[in-house]
């Protein structure tokens, strides 16, 4: 039985004072969550997470990392910098990075390998555009995105990633994939993992992301291959995030 993971993606939101109120609200009410919990925050707030969350079971992480180890790459944040601040996770290949920053499947794969080499758990995002779903290309698109990552990882490394299936048309739109629609894609992703490593397929947490909210979380999280959620908007309100954590526990 895989443990569930609820990971918040704060995107480019927050302030020192606002974050503190949010983190305090989560810490005060989380109790004995029976699932893994993390927040993926803008890099300047990693130190705040370290200071605020170190004594808790809540992990923290970045939202992107450089493919390079170090050097003349102005504006980039390296895997070892994330590790310096105690990050456990890093989101890789979010659709906003793919679309606004032109991240290719190969770049996402290289970043995934870089994260693993540095001891981070990459949360690798895959997902189709609305036009691709309507053209019946969902399986081909997410399969291609996952294949690029699998091509650069050993079977052992593959077991140490997290995958987030995030249909792009559901992110921040209030439109959610139905539990059956999501389960179909999750099962397909797990089957693809199994072709390379049955052990990795059994172990890898596959999260759903895309307008997961307190009122739809339980139905999604009940599906056999949905091992948690990557939560955007609802991660910015302690009561919503906690309600999703409870649904996963
Ligand atoms: C996300 O940004 O990864 C996400 C799933 O956002 P939202 O929950 O707001 O759709």
| Contact of 221 with 186, CB cutoff 8 Å | no
Residue 236 included in any domain: no
Q: Is pLDDT of 52 > 90? A: yes
Q: Is pLDDT of 174 > 90? A: no
- Measured from the CB, is residue 171 less than 6 Å from ligand 1? yes
Q: Whose CA is nearest to atom 4 of ligand 1?
A: 232
Instruction: Confirm or deny that 60 is annotated as ligand binding.
Output: no
Domain count for the chain, please give it.
Answer: 1
Q: Could you tell me which residues are beta bridge partners of residue 20?
A: none
Q: Is pLDDT of 74 > 90? A: yes
What are the tokens at 236? 């910015």
Structural domain including 138 reads: 59-231
Give the closest residue to 58 by CA, choosing from 92, 29, 18, 16: 29
Q: Whose CA is nearest to atom 7 of ligand 1?
A: 232
To the query of whether residue 68 is one of the catalytic residues in this protein, the response is no
Among 165, 172, 177, 237, residue to substitute to test ligand 1 (most atoms within 8 Å of Cβ): 172
Residue 21 included in any domain: no
Q: Is pLDDT of 242 > 90? A: yes
Residue 210 included in any domain: yes
Instruction: Confirm or deny that 174 is annotated as ligand binding.
Output: no
pLDDT band at 219, cuts 50/70/90? very high
In this predicted structure, what is the pLDDT of residue 1?
A: 81
In this predicted structure, what is the pLDDT of residue 42?
A: 98
Q: What is the mean pLDDT of the chain?
A: 97
In this predicted structure, what is the pLDDT of residue 237?
A: 98
For residue 23, give the DSSP letter. Answer: H
To the query of whether residue 166 is one of the catalytic residues in this protein, the response is yes
pLDDT by residue (tens digit) across 81-138?
999 999 999 999 999 999 999 999 999 999 999 999 999 999 999 999 999 999 999 9
For residue 4, give the DSSP letter. Answer: P
Residue 172 included in any domain: yes
Question: Would the pTM count as exceeding 0.95?
Answer: yes
Q: Is pLDDT of 176 > 90? A: no
In this predicted structure, what is the pLDDT of residue 228?
A: 98
What is the per-residue DSSP string for 41-56? --GGGHHHHHHHHTTS
> Residue 154, exposed/middle/buried by CB under 10 A (0-12, 13-18, 19+)?
middle
The CATH number linked to 219 is 3.20.20.70
Give the phi and the psi of residue 58 in degrees, each rounded to 5: -85, 125
- Measured from the CB, is residue 175 less than 6 Å from ligand 1? no
Whole-number Å distance between alpha carbons of 49 and 218: 27
Average pLDDT over residues 57-68: 98
Point out the ligand 1 atom lying closest to the alpha carbon of residue 211.
10
In this predicted structure, what is the pLDDT of residue 175?
A: 86
Q: How far, in Å, are 58, 86, 170, 217 from residue 240 at the CA level?
A: 16, 25, 18, 10
pLDDT band at 193, cuts 50/70/90? very high
- Measured from the CB, is residue 61 less than 6 Å from ligand 1? no
Q: Is pLDDT of 32 > 90? A: no
pLDDT by residue (tens digit) across 194-209?
999 999 999 999 999 9
Placement of tokens 């890898």 in the chain? 204
Residue 18 included in any domain: no
Q: Measured in Å, how far apart are the chain's first and last C-alpha atoms?
A: 13
pLDDT by residue (tens digit) across 8-20?
999 999 999 999 9
Quick one: the chain helix, strand, coil %, rounded to 5? 50, 15, 35
ipTM, interface predicted TM-score of the complex:
0.97
């Amino acid at each position: 039985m895989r443990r569930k993971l609820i990971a918040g993606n704060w995107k480019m939101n927050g302030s020192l004072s606002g974050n503190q109120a949010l983190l305090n609200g989560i810490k005060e009410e989380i109790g004995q969550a029976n699932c893994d919990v993390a927040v993926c925050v803008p890099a300047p707030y990693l130190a705040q997470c370290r200071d605020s969350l170190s004594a808790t079971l809540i992990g923290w992480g970045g939202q992107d990392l450089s493919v390079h180890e170090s050097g003349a790459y102005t504006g980039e944040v390296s895997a070892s910098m994330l590790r310096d601040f105690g990050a456990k996770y890093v989101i890789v290949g979010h659709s906003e990075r793919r679309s606004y920053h032109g991240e290719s499947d190969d770049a996402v794969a290289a970043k995934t390998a870089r994260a693993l080499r540095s001891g981070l758990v990459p949360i690798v995002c895959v997902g189709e555009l609305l036009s691709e779903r309507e053209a019946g290309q969902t399986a081909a698109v997410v399969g291609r995105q996952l294949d690029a990552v699998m091509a650069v990882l050993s079977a052992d490394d593959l077991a140490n990633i997290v995958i987030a299936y995030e249909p792009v048309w559901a992110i921040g739109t209030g439109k959610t994939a139905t539990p059956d629609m999501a389960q179909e894609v999750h099962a397909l992703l797990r089957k693809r993992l199994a072709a390379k490593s049955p052990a990795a397929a059994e172990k890898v947490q596959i999260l759903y992301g895309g307008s997961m909210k307190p009122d739809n979380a339980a139905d999604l999280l009940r599906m056999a291959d949905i091992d948690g959620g990557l939560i955007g908007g609802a991660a910015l309100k302690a009561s919503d995030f906690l309600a999703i954590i409870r649904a996963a526990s």
